[in-house]
Chains A and B, each alone.
Chain A
Amino acid sequence: MNALRDILSQGAQMSLVLGLAPLLTGFVRKVKARLLRRRGPPLLQPYRDLIRLMRKDVVLADNASWLFRVIPYLIFSGTWVAASLVPTFGNGLLFSWTADLIAIIALLGSARFFQALAGMDVGTAFGGIGSSREVMIASLAEPAMLITVFSVAMIAGSTQLANVAEFMGSDAVGLRVSLGMAFVALTIMALAENARIPVDNPATHLELTMVHEAMVLEYSGRHLALIDLSSQLKLLLYVSLIACVFLPWGMATADASVARLVFGALLYLGKLTVLGFLLAVFETSIAKMRVFRIPEFLGAALMLALLATLLRFVSGSL
């Protein structure tokens, strides 16, 4: 009975993230459009785009290798698994015990590795530019991300997200400087990892300025749909991660009643709305930075994460 229940709630969580991801992207786009006094596309437009892409033929470059065709599936599965590991409405789900934060980073890192390979596979100039920029960003973002994880893990005493969330939701956490720093660092990382302004612009048409988009320029049809869906999942993952680590209130526990689970789900939607709105406001109020300014930006995240870890060493209460 319990096993069935666990599988059901985990299944619900996995389909929830998959189903919600395009909506979050659509919501952010809508808010951005409204802030620019535009009407903007409908909230459900990302779903329509995915369906449209799924129906379209795949156009492959003549010199595309088997890797190019396989990679969208690899990226998608890696990202989906990673997104399912992050507690959303409920904590302590089946999968949360199988992998910790470091595994999530590893999954996303592998997805990125394959994406960069795919960018170079066909041999176009733009793909190469995109891959080289992506790897430059990754080489700075990944260590920063790990150190952020360490600082949070040291405070919570575990790298398991379920434990972290539980600890953060308890009274034991208190007000800590290091947590604040980790929060800022994680936010910067989330912007960089999701190709948002000021690091990359998800809405640009200028190939020469692209990072993520340049890598996927050669993709079409269902391949592109999978990659787009992965990007949307990744955004949801990071927003959920921030919500679960820093705003863990109202999360249902594994053995909670259905009513608690529904309440948790509603609260989770509320958190997504607030964070998505903040993302849109931030993106509207800032220009994209120069490519060589990105290392400084990510360096700031790295330093903050390091400081957070150090503070924790210096004093247990900071």
Chain B
Amino acid sequence: MGILDSIPHVNAVSSHRPWPRAVVTEAGWQAAIDRLVGGGLTLLGFWGEPAAVHLAMLDGGSAEIAVVTYACTAGTFPSVASSHPPALRLERTIHDLFGLVPTVAGDLRPWLDHYVWGKSYPLSGRNASRDVQPYQFLPAEGEALHQVAVGPVHAGIIEPGHFRFTANGEHVVRLEQWLGYTHKGIESLMQGASLEAAAKLANRTSGDSAVAYAFAFARAAEAALDIEVPRRATCLRALMAELERLANHFGDIGAICNDASFALMHAQTGILRERTLRAADAAFGHRLMMDVVVPGGVARDIAPDGIPALRTLLAEIKKVFPRLIELYDNTASLQDRTVTTGIVKADYARQFGAGGYVGRASGRNFDARRTLAYAPYDQLSFEVPVLEAGDVNARVWIRIREVEQSVELIAQILDLMEPGEIRTALPAGRGACEGLALTEAFRGDVLVWLRLDGELRVERCHLRDASWFQWPLLETAIEGNIIADFPLCNKSFNCSYSGADL
């Protein structure tokens, strides 16, 4: 109980696994905020319930996690965002969904709520309504400034989101994002869903991270129920997670180059991505491997011809990918675009706890697979690349190195895998219990917190995508850059809209 030692709390919740959760008073809540502001702890998640708010924090040094809960008896809670900016969008979301009001509310503009739900505060259980007001973008004033509004409908086949630039000619003075267009009400759909249905929902939170979400959800459920998963199942899960990472990193590396109009790389990595997806299809019967990872294990074993398909894939990647790295490294015109473009300062990456390549390209040494060492990664050897430059180029290089690591990991897992069980039956009648889990998706850590009732139904579930803490950094990365470089910066982040809009 390392973290909670220094935070005064009323009582610890016994059924919360594997990390502790404690109910705190205002003093404890404030102590937690102070530790976040001081940089000793990193904000991992911040979510609500009709009458409580939860704050998940990570101690990066000791790899400990703790959750503190504040009971909102008067419908209010002490604001986290007013002193710790990374919590701002989460705090606005809590207000949108539950109607809980932070004291000292600096910014209570709606975030997910675009006034199209037909009601306000949908998860609060109350019948309140809020006044419809046009969304106010933050002001940026000056003589030569003009605004450029982009989205929510974009020209490419990407997700919807609005970007409001204030620019002085080509130079961006301020970028403000307005998301929420892909809100699907996942948290509301989760309530009361059976574990099976909820796992399917989790799978579909952000389609490109289907495996990572299912993995995190399954681990949270297993932690809550306190069950062990067969070893073969964990291996298969990691296999799928790494395949998903490979496919997405290939896609990203090509897409970043394509945004610099270097279509050659895009075409080449497109082929590798397609081969990866086909191998996934051959091995697990679905290109995105949806609904294979389920609480208790995996729904189906790898197909007999899946293993040779994967080995062929690895051989091809090992043959082709080094040449693509060389192409990237030796194309001066491309380097000219990516080097020093869109720098994320290391301080911001640390403060926001940015996961994935965004954090690791800016010196934040965190990878849930390494830091939290969940099965089977505790038995696999791999490196976590970290760079300091924080520019688009660094984010490309992190991806390149991670592709190499994933290829090694898949080979290791294939060697390590032994025949055996792939699924454990879920115990019924355990009573109410809670679980928390993190997995490393391709774009960063996914957090899943859930509470089950006694009959294997989800009482409350919160899914937090890595993008929550990456989107705000994109706003800082583009400052001082030119408008024409925004697509490049944006693609190098490749944040999820769906995952953050819930």
Contact = CB atoms under 8 A, between A and B. Distances in A.
A291 B167 CA distance: 15
Interface in A202-244: 203-209
Contacts of B421: none
Contacts of A92: none
B467 to A, nearest CB: 20
Nearest to A199: B261
B260 A288 contact: yes
Nearest to B147: A125
Interface in A261-318: 284-293
Given A205-B156, A206-B155, A207-B150, A290 B485 contact: yes
Contacts of B331: 285-287
B267 interface: yes
A292 B260 contact: no
A129 B155 contact: no
B484 interface: yes
A284 B259 CA distance: 13
A285 B265 CA distance: 10
Contacts of B169: 132
Interface in B86-129: none
Nearest to B262: A287
A126 B150 CA distance: 9
Contacts of A287: 257, 260-262, 331, 333-334, 336-337
24 contacts: A35-B264, A36-B267, A37-B271, A125-B146, A129-B148, A198-B261, A203-B261, A204-B261, A205-B156, A206-B487, A207-B150, A207-B155, A208-B483, A209-B261, A209-B487, A285-B264, A285-B331, A287-B261, A287-B333, A288-B333, A288-B337, A290-B336, A290-B482, A292-B482
A81 B55 CA distance: 70
Contact of A208 (B147, B266, B486): B486
B334 to A, nearest CB: 4
A126 to B, nearest CB: 8
A205 B333 contact: no
A205 B264 CA distance: 16
Interface string B242-274: 000000000000000101111110111001000
Nearest to A205: B155
B149 interface: yes
A224 to B, nearest CB: 15
A187 B257 CA distance: 25
A288 B150 contact: no
Given A289-B337, A290-B484, 16 more contacts: A36-B263, A36-B266, A37-B268, A129-B483, A205-B156, A206-B259, A208-B148, A208-B486, A287-B257, A287-B331, A288-B337, A289-B333, A289-B336, A290-B485, A291-B170, A293-B336
A90 to B, nearest CB: 37
A201 interface: yes
B176 to A, nearest CB: 15
Contacts of A288: 260-262, 333, 337
A105 to B, nearest CB: 27
Nearest to A288: B261
A288 B263 CA distance: 10
B148 to A, nearest CB: 4
A291 B482 contact: yes
Interface of B: 146-150, 155-156, 169-170, 257, 259-264, 266-268, 271, 331, 333-334, 336-337, 482-487
B169 to A, nearest CB: 7
Nearest to B338: A287
Contacts of A206: 155-156, 259, 487
A207 B158 CA distance: 14
Given A205-B156, A206-B259, A287-B260, A198 B333 contact: yes
A284 B155 CA distance: 22
B260 A208 contact: no
Interface of A: 32, 35-38, 125-126, 128-129, 132, 197-198, 201, 203-209, 284-293
Nearest to B260: A287
A291 to B, nearest CB: 5
Contacts of A286: 262, 331, 333
A132 B263 CA distance: 26
Nearest to A128: B146
Given A286-B333, A290-B337, A208 B264 contact: no
B264 A36 contact: yes
Contacts of B336: 287, 289-290, 293
Contacts of A285: 264, 331
Contacts of A207: 150, 155
Contact of B484 (A197, A203, A209): A209
A128 B268 CA distance: 35
A209 B261 CA distance: 10
Contacts of B150: 207-208
A125 B156 contact: no
Contacts of A132: 169
Contacts of A208: 148, 150, 483-484, 486-487
B478 to A, nearest CB: 11
A194 B195 CA distance: 58
A132 B331 CA distance: 29
A292 B484 CA distance: 10
A205 B146 CA distance: 23
Contacts of A290: 336-337, 482, 484-485
Given A129-B148, A203-B263, A291 B484 contact: yes
A149 to B, nearest CB: 28
B487 A38 contact: no
A295 to B, nearest CB: 12
B250 to A, nearest CB: 15
A292 B148 CA distance: 19
Contacts of A289: 333, 336-337
A204 B155 CA distance: 9
B153 to A, nearest CB: 11
Nearest to B481: A290
